[in-house]
Amino acid sequence: MKKSQLIILQKIVFLSLLLLCVFKVHANSKQEQRILVLGDSISAGYGLPANTGWVNLLDQYLTKEKYTFSMLNASISGETSAGGKSRIKKLILDFKPTVVVVELGANDALRGFPLKASKENLLDIINICKANKAQVLLLGMKIPSNYGAEYTNQFSKMFVDVSKSTQSTLVPFFLEGIATNRQLFQDDGIHPNLEAQPILLQTMLPSLVKILK
């Protein structure tokens, strides 16, 4: 083989390897995101028509934006942080999420549970997720002032403390855009109605998109 032919062959091999590397990087960037939502009635769509809750809207948004993903909504009406903790290991084992959205704690407050226990449960949930290489988005909540100033303040602070301790992304108050508008709640005054769902989505979406990217 002539020297000139050998040089041309070497260039072809080099370019082929370069293209293969580029293809692999592109393929890795398109790996499927597996999103697990672990929440209570707000994420389970309590009192709403089927498939109209904010989690369903998130599914539709990600599909429209051509994200490669699958989603599991493991939210249960009435769920507490303790209930979420009891289920998270099996959910991770079965679904193997890359991202977990945690929306729990409100029912703990409604039932007057000690905040120390709730905080420990949330810490355990997130630490289990991170130990299994899943990133976490924590959706914080607040409660009305009639629970007492100290309990109310400590409840809000709990989410901040958990987020800092676990280095997790936090949405400080998931109901931020609807909390003061009675028209965006169902007749019980607790659960967001159909009109509130897009607002809930927009409240958490920027933080989730950052994680997905």
Stretch (H or E) spanning 10: helix 3-29
Q: Which of 156, 165, 188, 207 is catalytic?
A: 188
- Strand order from edge to edge, sheet including 99-103: 69-73, 33-39, 99-103, 135-139, 169-171
Classify each residue of 170-182 as buried b or exposed e, where b means 16 or more C-beta atoms within 10 Å of its C-beta: bbeebbebbbeee
Residue 160's alpha-carbon distances to 84, 156, 174, in angstroms, are: 19, 7, 13
State which amino acid sits at residue 27: A
Is 75 assigned a catalytic role?
Answer: no
Q: Of 121, 100, 96, 78, which Cα lies nearest the Cα of 168?
A: 100
Annotated active-site residue in 94, 187, 191, 207: 191
Cα–Cα dist 67/75, whole Å: 22
Distance CA(4)–CA(78), nearest Å, equals 75
Torsion angle defined by CA atoms of residues 141, 147, 152 and 158, in that order, rounded to the nearest 10 degrees: -60
Q: Is 26 a catalytic residue?
A: no
Look up residue 208 and give its amino acid: L
Answer yes or no: 191 catalytic.
Answer: yes
Task: Name the active-site residue from 16, 40, 41, 108.
Answer: 41
Active site members: 41, 188, 191
